[in-house]
Amino acid sequence: MNHDFNVLNQKNYIPNEARYTNMKYRRTGKSGLLLPEISIGLWHNFGFNDNFENSTNILKCAFNHGITHFDLANNYGPPYGAAEITFGKIFKRYFKPFRDELIISTKAGWDMWAGPYGNFGSRKYLISSLDQSLQRMGLDYVDIFYHHRPDNDTPLEETMGALDHIVRQGKALYVGISQYSAKETKKAAKILKQLGTPCLIHQPRYNLMDRWVENGLLDTLDNVGIGAIAFSPLNQGVLTNKYLNGFPKDSRAVKDGRYLKVDQINDELLLKVKKLNDIANSRDQSLAQMAIAWLLKDERITSVLVGASSSNQLLDSIKALDNKEFSKEDLSEIEQVLKD
Ligand code: NDP
């Protein structure tokens, strides 16, 4: 019997040969990098309490359908670092031969380790955090390294200088920022350009119910030539039909409750979800599919960064790509529901 686990499992994984047939790829800002219209995030469902086989199946399903972009951060888990370790195991067993077909990203900016050097935006934190991330994932480099959130107490020159340094070290191919305002983004982009490492991409929270990026950020990104990848496009699962008939035991709100709490999902919110669900059904889509398609109708959005707790969910979400057209009536009905 062959006990070489890596060889054994690599042999077992033959990705779908037609994986590039249906997925569309969009240019990231003015860069040379194309990203799939749908990317997969490992914030949830890749921690030490999650089922390893299920996590593996989600990534295999993603890659089999042309999702070439896997998004991580130093503190995804729980515990912090766990998602990178889980990913590292899956990568080693199944994806290593396909490294050059993948765009792997990680981030630092939120709390990660004890003491003054494991949080925010210092050069000290960002450079050591990426070293740790690479070790956990078993990679020589990531494709994109992000500063995870703005830090008003650290000079932007220091934070952007750290990103530039990381690229020059060969530890990341591109850099990005997350949740920076339009004004902060302009400043950061200017510094990075002067340093010779252009800002590739911005990762903001953007979904039907959270529209802050429409207030200047998307225009700024378009003007400066930076890509946009929208996170939590399903509002952590609220923009699906899953909470319409109660609170499923295996849902994020019930199972986890750290970032999405049951009492946030109140009757008022559910009434809107119900109306959006009706509009989606009239388009022959699930609400999840409509929520993703609605983001992709805007060409300024490079990619929609979904999460999934199973490969079936991901398959459902991918079907969003079958209908990204919205009539004026659909759009105004959607706006009316959200205004009410
Ligand atoms: P989503 O809004 O896509 O929510 C994903 C959750 O929605 C799933 O875990 C699942 O929840 C539910 N779901 C997904 N697909 C379906 C479907 N088709 N039908 C029904 N329910 C579905 O995204 P996330 O909030 O998970 O964020 C996505 C990624 O964005 C993260 O993994 C991370 O990479 C990134 N991110 C970045 C942040 C940043 O600060 N830059 C912050 C947060 C996220 P359930 O478990 O209930 O089944």
Residue nearest atom 4 of ligand 1, based on CA coordinates: 236
Tell me how far the alpha carbon of residue 105 lies from the centroid of ligand 1, in angstroms.
16
CA torsion sign for 75, 110, 106, 260 is positive
- For residue 59, what are the CA distances in angstroms to 2, 41, 239, 304? 25, 10, 22, 16
**Which atom of ligand 1 is the closest one to the Cα of 149?**
40
**Which atom of ligand 1 is the closest one to the Cα of 241?**
20
Tell me how far the alpha carbon of residue 260 lies from the centroid of ligand 1, in angstroms.
11
Tell me how far the alpha carbon of residue 139 lies from the centroid of ligand 1, in angstroms.
25
3-state SS class at 269: helix
User: Per residue of the chain (340 residues), what is the pLDDT tens digit?
Assistant: 333 444 444 457 899 999 999 999 999 999 999 999 999 999 999 999 999 999 999 999 999 999 999 999 999 999 999 999 999 999 999 999 999 999 999 999 999 999 999 999 999 999 999 999 999 999 999 999 999 999 999 999 999 999 999 999 999 999 999 999 999 999 999 999 999 999 999 999 999 999 999 999 999 999 999 999 999 999 999 999 999 999 999 999 999 989 999 999 999 999 999 999 999 999 999 999 999 999 999 999 999 999 999 999 999 999 999 999 999 999 999 999 999 8
Q: Is 231 touching ligand 1 by the criterion CB < 6 Å?
A: yes
C-beta of residue 200 within 8 angstroms of C-beta of residue 257: no
Please enumerate in sequence order all residues whose Cβ is within 8 A of that of 333, keeping only pairs 6 or more positions apart, or say none: 279
Please enumerate in sequence order all residues whose Cβ is within 8 A of that of 20, keeping only pairs 6 or more positions apart, or say none: 66
- pTM comes to 0.96
Task: Choose one of 35, 309, 317 to mutate for the ligand 1 pocket test, by most ligand atoms within 8 angstroms of C-beta.
Answer: 309
> Taking phi first (over 0 means left), then psi (-120 to 50 degrees means alpha), and beta for anything else, what does residue 45 get?
left
Tell me how far the alpha carbon of residue 319 lies from the centroid of ligand 1, in angstroms.
16
Residue nearest atom 24 of ligand 1, based on CA coordinates: 232
- What domains can be seen in the chain, in order of their start residue? 5-237+300-327 (3.20.20.100)
Q: Phi then psi for 199, rounded to 5 degrees?
A: -75, 120
Tokens of 261: 């709490």
